[in-house]
Amino acid sequence: MAGNVNLAVKLGNLIFKNPVLTASGTFGYGIEFSKYIDLNRLGGFIVKGLSLYEKKGNKPPRIVETPCGMLNAIGLQNVGVERFIEEKLPKLQGLNTHIIANIYGTEVEEFVRLAEILDKEPLISALEVNVSCPNVSAGGALFGKDPDMVYVLTVSIKKVTKKPVIVKLTPNVEDIAFVAQAAQSAGAEAVSLINTIAGMVIDVKSRKPFLANKTGGLSGPAIYPVGVRMVYEVYEKVKMPIIGVGGIYNANVALQYIMAGASLIEIGTANFVDPTISIQIIKGIEEFLNEEGVNSISELVGTAHG
Amino acid sequence: MRLKIVENSQIAKDTYVLKVENPALYGILPGQFFMIKVNDFNYPLLRRPLSVAGFSNTVDFIFRVVGEGTRILSLKKEGEFIDILGPSGNGFIINSSKKLILVGGGIGVAPILYLKYTIENRYRLKCESYFGFNTKDEVFVNTGNIATMDGSLGFKGTTVDMVQDDLDKDSLIYACGPLPMLKKLALLCFEYGCEMQVSLEARMACGIGVCLGCVVPTVSGDFKRVCVEGPVFDYEEIQWQEM
């Protein structure tokens, strides 16, 4: 049955062979997963958030499990963009999939510099701009909560790169669609949502927050209804493609995001539980299309509306 | 991999031995661990890291029931299948020129048992082992020197109290157990000038090096992942005062 349905999706000037991407921070630099899956089968993958310089990340404990989810405060530990280009990127040569770089800075200038540097890398297909990390003191979600800042940041990044720009939004706001509109007006090719939901777990023995960072970002199956609702809201207000992310652990939830209005989806925490889950979800989506007699995935985008 | 459970039985208070069919893939280094999914549902979500306590026709784990995940695991029956990923991590390095001392505390005894087997049966070397528990009820070994905190079996006190007279500069300690035990051993090693390889425990989500949740502070100032750069570390590499 496989192959007679059309899973391809267009975003900016890019064609994705299928709508399944893997989320930044859950997929390393891609290389780590090549022993479990054929990376070429993915629509694409998004590498761990890159900053201009190496970041050591937060002190442990950094994670704690919650019912059907987990709370994390990694603090964007990464090797920095230069070492990524020198050490990691060459290992990703020759792949027939899209590699998306996720970038993070504390100031607009840092984001711009990162975009300039990565614009020169032919292996990078697009940039995902992280304005939504809840676990760093400066930048992060502070940008993402302010539509004016999102506008200024997106415009500034667009000036220095020809690659499609995806703005990754935080759910920790009053009106996510308003922030998405700011990204659209600034010329972003797409938005991805949601990043993790701010949360806290307290250790009753010590009577203090469990994570060293005190708060963390909630992810996993527990949060998917929040993500689906937000994608639904954003779809009503913007015309650009939406990338749905948050708690996707099977094809059913992936399809819910698509029907809410997502053109593509990202798989995050589920990669931790089963490193082959992305491939299973691609198969599951394909099976659904076959069973339902739908020729193309694009026919399902936003069907929950109206 | 989905592997068949050959045995899952209680061997001490809250302590179980789980044996699964050996997938006949490879050797396993002492110190390495597997990531185990206790059921097929989203609760509990994450896999549990369990270190290997024995390896022959079966891969053996010893675990203590500490929460919902391990409670579910303790109810698994022979013949059921279980989803396991691994082996992960580095492993202990065996140095035949040293006086080998094995120290395990509580459930940390599990990987030390497989190490002991490997040293004695595969390398044909001698080693002295010290296993500590809170009380007699928790003891699940019948080998080595046993210490219990309440003196209900063997030496009364900690393994650290028991082992220290045996240490000298030619000693190489292999240790796994609660953090206070490891910290005291690190101080002793520093004092006696001996070496130590410690297997560390950490909360981890993925066990394959990508979530960056299980890191420990090292003297270089960098964080290292217990699941990939560990779980076994040279004790001098760890920034103990930050642990």
Q: Where in chain B is the domain with CATH 2.10.240.10?
A: 200-243
Q: Do B45 and A220 touch (CB under 8 A)?
A: yes
Cβ–Cβ below 8 Å for A60 and B44: no
- Average pLDDT in chain A: 95
- Name the H helices within chain A: 81-83, 108-119, 141-144, 147-160, 176-185, 224-237, 251-260, 270-273, 277-292
Region B169-189: what's the mean pLDDT?
97
Of B46, B217, B223, nearest to A272 by CB-CB distance is: B46
Give me the domain span that covers residue A217: 9-300
Domain with CATH 2.40.30.10 in chain B: 2-85
Q: How many domains does chain A have?
A: 1
At A141 the pLDDT is 67
Q: What is the 3-state secondary structure (H, E, C) of chain B?
A: CEEEEEEEEEEECCEEEEEEECCCCCCCCCCCEEEEECCCCCCCCCCEEEEEEEECCEEEEEEECCCHHHHHHHCCCCCCEEEEEEEECCCCCCCCCCEEEEEEEHHHHHHHHHHHHHHHHHCCCCCEEEEEECCHHHCCCCCCEEEECCCCCCEECCHHHHHHHHCCCCEEEEEECCHHHHHHHHHHHHHHCCEEEEECCCCCCCCCCCCCCCEEEECCCCEEECCCCCCEEEHHHECHHHC
**Chain B residues within 8 angstroms (CB to CB) of chain A:** 37, 42-47, 85, 202-206, 208-217, 221-223, 242
Per residue in A60-111, pLDDT tens? 999 999 999 999 999 999 999 999 999 999 999 999 999 999 999 988 999 9
Closest Cβ opposite residue A65 in set B45, B221, B222: B45
A contact test, residue of B34, B39, B42 with most A CBs within 10 A: B42
pLDDT beyond 80 at B26: no
**Residue A306 belongs to some domain of the structure:** no
Over residues A261-275, the pLDDT tens digits come to 999 999 999 999 999
Residue A287 domain-assigned (yes or no): yes
Q: What is the CATH number of the domain that holds A41?
A: 3.20.20.70
Where in the sequence numbering do the catalytic residues of A fall?
133
Give CA angle at B28 (B24, B30), nearest 5°: 155
Residue B155 confidence (pLDDT) above 60: yes
B2-85 CATH pick, 3.40.50.920, 2.40.50.100, 3.40.50.1820, 2.40.30.10: 2.40.30.10
Q: Provide CATH 3.40.50.80 ranges for chain B.
A: 97-184
d(CA B57, CA B39): 24
As assigned by CATH, the class of the B200-243 domain is: mainly beta
The pLDDT-based confidence of A122 (bands split at 50, 70, 90) is very high
In a domain, A3, yes or no: no
Going by pLDDT thresholds of 50, 70 and 90, the confidence category of residue A140 is: low
Decide yes or no: CATH 3.40.50.80 for domain B97-184: yes
Residue A18 within a domain:
yes
The confidence score (pLDDT) of residue A1 equals 45
- Find, among A303, A301, A194, A304, the residue nearest to A258 by Cα: A301
Cβ–Cβ of A63/B208 closer than 8 Å? Answer: no
Q: Is the pLDDT of residue A162 over 80?
A: yes
Within-domain flag for A201: yes
Phi and psi based region of residue B86 (left: phi greater than 0; alpha: psi -120 to 50; beta: remaining): left
Q: Distance from CA of residue B25 to its chain's centroid?
A: 22
Q: What is the pLDDT of residues B36-48, one digit of tens each?
A: 999 999 999 999 9
